[in-house]
Structure 1
Amino acid sequence: MRSASLVRTGLTDEVVAQLTDYEASELPESWKAALALCDWLSGFEHSGKIPPEMYGRLGVHFNEQQILRLGALLASASGWHRMIEAFGIRPDHYQAGQSAPWAAAAG
């Protein structure tokens, strides 16, 4: 995995590389719990109500308000990701003045 936008926020290439297999990584346990919630909410492997074990894992690192805020942020980001994929938008490669990716399809 490589993401210029993540690296621009201050994450190193080494940290970004660990996101692919975060459970086996050296990332902090709080990050692993948040990433597991991200996977759950994105529906890649799971769906339905968050199981008690996951909520308990999150509760070790975050209070209830933080868990809800994290969930809202992840839901928003997941929806944004799906939208940019659907329209072929590549923010890491965008250049000022570049036409929108859907302009060619519409025209």
Structure 2
Amino acid sequence: MTTHTDTLTAKTEYAHEHAPRLPLAERVPEFYRAMLRLETAAAKDIDPTLYHLIKIRASQINHCAFCIDMHSKDALAEGETVERIVQLSAWQESRHFYTERELAALDLTEAVTVLTDGFVPDEVYARAAAHFDETELARVISAIVVINAWNRIAVTTRMTPGHYTPRPA
């Protein structure tokens, strides 16, 4: 007779890991290097904590498992809490985990990421503009645009999550 303990200790069989579709960086290295430069420019002078939240949330919306894996690990390595990362998918119901600036950036991230639903509402933009000066707001918008581009690359080429290791700080 199999007991509950036997079931818990039995080896779990996970689904087969999919292979990437296309090694984009190898096929168009000049484009990939340009994306890395764009990433570097977007990350310049933006609060790293905010940057990670933007990248994780956009990646969740875009169902980009590779980027969720990467940016969650980077955020954890830089001191972000597990609780804030876990709650990020439900940030509107978990507002008390985030600052007003972070909430404004998350709202803007959602509006820009789901742009196909129409446009960025004036009230969302105004709320973000109330929390960031023009240069900061431009950096937030840049961060949102760049992660959305990376998400589209990773999802389309089917980059495989689970293998990323953050660089030591």
What range describes the TM-score normalised by the shorter chain of this pair?
0.7 to 0.9
CA gap 1:51/1:19 in 2 versus in 1, 3 angstroms: same
User: CA–CA distance in 2 between the matches of 1:21 and 1:45?
Assistant: 21
Mapping for residues 1-107 of structure 1, pairs under 5 Å: 3-25=72-94, 26=96, 27-43=98-114, 46-48=117-119, 50-90=120-160, 92-94=162-164
What's the CA shift string for 1:14-70, capped at 9, x where partnerless?
A: 11012011122221111111011111111177332x222112211221012211221
Aligned length: 94
CA contact (8 A) 1:41 1:74 kept: yes
Quick one: which amino acid aligns to residue 24 of structure 1?
Answer: E
Q: Which runs of 5+ in 2 are unaligned?
A: 1-59, 61-68
CA contact (8 A) 1:39 1:46 kept: no
Moved more, 65-74 or 5-14: 5-14
Deviation at 1:81, TM superposition (A): 1.3
Moved more, 35-44 or 1-10: 1-10
Q: Which runs of 5+ in 1 are unaligned?
A: 96-107
Structure having the higher Rg: 2
Task: Tell me the SS of whatever aligns to 2:92.
Answer: helix
Deviation at 1:80, TM superposition (A): 0.3
CA contact (8 A) 1:39 1:45 kept: no
Provide the TM-score with structure 1 as the length reference. Answer: 0.73
Q: Give me the identity figure in percent.
A: 27
CA contact (8 A) 2:111 2:124 kept: no
CA contact (8 A) 2:104 2:127 kept: yes
CA gap 1:28/1:91 in 2 versus in 1, 3 angstroms: same
CA contact (8 A) 2:112 2:144 kept: yes
Displacement over 4 Å in runs of 4+: none
Deviation at 1:82, TM superposition (A): 1.5
RMSD: 2.3
